[in-house]
Amino acid sequence: MIQPPRALTLMTPQPASGLPATFKHLAGANLAAQAAEQISLAAVPIVAVLAFNAGAREVGLLAAAQSLPFLLLALPFGLWADRASRRRMMVAAEAMRVLAMALLAALVIVASGAGLSMAALAVLGFIGAVGTVAFSVAAPAMVPALVPREALARANGRLELARSLAFAAGPALAGAVVAATGGGGAFALAAALSVAAVVLLRRLPADAAAKSVAPTPSRPPPLAELRDGARFVWHDRWLRPVLLTAVVWNLSWMVLQAAYVPHAMQHLGLGARGVGFTLSLYGAGMVLGALAAPRLMARLPLGAAIALGPLVSVLASFTMAASLVWPLPALAALSFFLFGAGPIVWTVSSTTLRQTLTPAPMLGRVGSIFLTANAGARPLGAALGAGVAVLAGGQGIAACLLLAAGGFVLQAGVILASAVRTLRSLPTAPAPRAVN
């Protein structure tokens, strides 16, 4: 059936910033939800190391549990986002995070850690990550219905700036709160931030999802819709290399993450606050990159802006590997800063490219396919890191960091060898097309 172009009925009068007034609720909810995620992601491994003397294998398994929802739920959420209310989906998933974080806080504070275990950290971390999956699928799919095409890069930059601020403040705050309270305070803070996200989400227009998805008298089966979205991505000359590059990046990132906390605490001499500070520099780099991304996209050819993130990631991975030879916390801090500053430009530019190329009725599915492949690669990377640590024995941390560096070289090679690097500007948006 032929679908009409994206409805513009959600466009509200724009403030001086050039973005619709209703967009601020989505951006605010995104900031609160991302901050809750970053606090919990940082607190879980720190608590595991302090309470259970966890090493690279255990931290890798916890990271796999926290990222597994992306692999299992992104595609179902993508179908939901194209069929029903995106706002309702985000509210329900974020409420699950409130319950998970509140229970973790209760185990630590009320039960004095009596019920806390590695299994509890893994299971409740898994449940908490469900909210992030819903946001990652639904928010980008809502943006084209809330802002005009010419403002997509600015709107995406605003969302990524919110996420970057969360990355900058979350880990450092988590480290400080864990050091002061033993972990319960960090999980309670994450729950409170998720409550704030729910409140802001409920202020979005109730019909946002319905108007951003064209009505159809009948829809094909879910698997047929997913196949249509997958075919669209795989046969698009611009989107396929972007997808492959991101998959390799995420695999490499999680191999590095599996080794970093043990490396920092055992070899670089950092405590909980020091680990939180170095991780927060990743967010500081993201803030800088998010602020610069719209300007870079306006001044650089689009292909160059997209390739910038993979190239900076190579430099960042080499910097981290250098800390094996020179165990200086400053090298780890610089590495995380570079990992934040470069790839965020990739995120803004590649998301804008995807939103431009994808027909409106497919935005949820296509976004979920990217999320499944990209973030779904994370538990595989975390498991790979844990396996390498076991096989390499005493050299497990070094093996993980060197393997990660090799992966980042590979992902840069994929995008540089593709036609994406030749893009000078956004391609023409697709005409309305049949969705089978």
> Phi and psi at residue 2, in whole multiples of 5°?
-80, 125
Q: Which residue has the higher pLDDT, 422 or 393?
A: 422
Please tell me whether residue 434 adopts helix, strand or coil conformation: strand
Total Cβ atoms within 10 A of residue 13 = 7
Q: How confident is the model at residue 429 (pLDDT cuts 50, 70, 90)?
A: low
Please check the confidence at residue 4 and state whether its pLDDT lies above 70.
no
78-87, 197-206, 273-282: range with lowest mean pLDDT = 78-87
pLDDT digits (tens, 9 = 90+) for 206-216: 644 444 444 45
Domain extent listing, the chain: 23-211+221-422
pLDDT digits (tens, 9 = 90+) for 133-150: 887 788 787 887 777 777
Mean pLDDT of 214-233: 72
Burial of 9 (0-12, 13-18, 19+ CB in 10 A): exposed
- Most confidently modeled range among 13-22, 127-136, 422-431: 127-136
Please tell me whether residue 2 adopts helix, strand or coil conformation: strand
**Could you give the CA distance from residue 129 to residue 218 in angstroms, rounded to a whole number?**
33
Mean pLDDT of 318-335: 92
- Residue 418 is predicted with a pLDDT of 92
Element holding 44 (H helix, E strand): helix 23-52
- Residue 111 is predicted with a pLDDT of 54
**Could you give the CA distance from residue 218 to residue 220 in angstroms, rounded to a whole number?**
7
Six token digits for residue 266: 């055992």
Specify the CATH architecture of the domain 23-211+221-422. Answer: Up-down Bundle (1.20)
Total Cβ atoms within 10 A of residue 17 = 12
Please tell me whether residue 364 adopts helix, strand or coil conformation: helix
Selection from 285, 377, 275, 304 nearest residue 71 by Cα: 377
- Residue 317 is predicted with a pLDDT of 94
- Residue 79 is predicted with a pLDDT of 80
Tell me the torsion sign for CA atoms 429, 23, 68, 78.
negative
Q: Report yes or no: 170 and 283 within 8 Å, Cβ to Cβ.
A: yes
- Residue 18 is predicted with a pLDDT of 64
Residue with tokens 């994450």: 190
Average pLDDT, the chain: 80
Please tell me whether residue 427 adopts helix, strand or coil conformation: coil
26-40, 48-62, 83-97, 392-406: range with lowest mean pLDDT = 48-62
Selection from 95, 96, 77 nearest residue 137 by Cα: 77
Residue with tokens 């396919």: 369
Six token digits for residue 91: 């509210």
Six token digits for residue 59: 């931290």
- Residue 397 is predicted with a pLDDT of 83
